[in-house]
């Protein structure tokens, strides 16, 4: 009889155990996603930041035309044109000017974007 009661308890606990496992897995995924998203931020102490003007001078010495440098998520985000004439959006750490992300937009990309916008426009 005890064996039957233990089996019944195990059977009754299975849905709860499954639900608990699903909740734990969902929580783990949520927490790991937050960590991944937070990795895009720069965490340099403000006291160690170098002036934006110095970054601009370094990029212009490489042939860039810098339109704007702004702070985004603790990083310096640079918009401009690189030495090859491509539109650039680059992200740098403000303390070491370490390149963290680079997006290039060439004329072909811009043409495709323009065509795509025109196709979606109502006639």
pLDDT at 118: 78
pLDDT at 30: 61
Instruction: Write the CA distances from 95 to 43, 92, 103, integer angstroms.
Output: 9, 9, 21
Instruction: Write the CA distances from 76 to 38, 45, 89, 103, integer angstroms.
Output: 16, 13, 10, 14
**What's the CATH architecture for 46-115?**
Roll (3.10)
Residue of 92, 26, 107 whose CA lies nearest to 58: 92
DSSP 16: H
Tell me the three state secondary structure of residue 115. helix
Look up residue 63 and give its two tokens. Answer: 């042939």
pLDDT at 35: 43
What residue ranges do the domains of the chain occupy?
1-39, 46-115
77 and 71 Cβ atoms separated by less than 8 Å = yes
- Averages of pLDDT over runs of 10 residues in the chain (123 residues) are 60 61 65 52 96 98 98 97 94 97 79 74 68
DSSP for 17-84, please give it.
HHHHHHHHHHHHHHHHHHHHHHTTS----GGGPPPHHHHHHHHHHTT-EEEEEEEETTEEEEEEE-TT
CA atoms within 13 A on the CB side of 30: 6
């Amino acid at each position: 009889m005890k064996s039957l009661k233990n089996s019944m308890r195990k059977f009754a606990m299975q849905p709860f155990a499954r639900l608990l496992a699903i909740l734990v897995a969902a929580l783990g995924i949520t927490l790991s996603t937050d960590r991944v998203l937070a990795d895009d931020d720069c965490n340099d102490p403000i006291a160690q930041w170098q002036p934006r003007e110095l970054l601009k001078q370094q990029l212009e010495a490489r042939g860039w035309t810098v339109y704007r440098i702004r702070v985004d998520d603790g990083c310096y985000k640079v918009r401009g044109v690189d030495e090859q004439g491509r539109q650039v959006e680059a992200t740098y750490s403000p303390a070491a000017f370490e390149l963290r992300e680079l997006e290039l937009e060439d004329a072909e990309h811009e043409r495709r974007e323009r065509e795509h916008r025109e196709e979606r426009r109502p006639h």
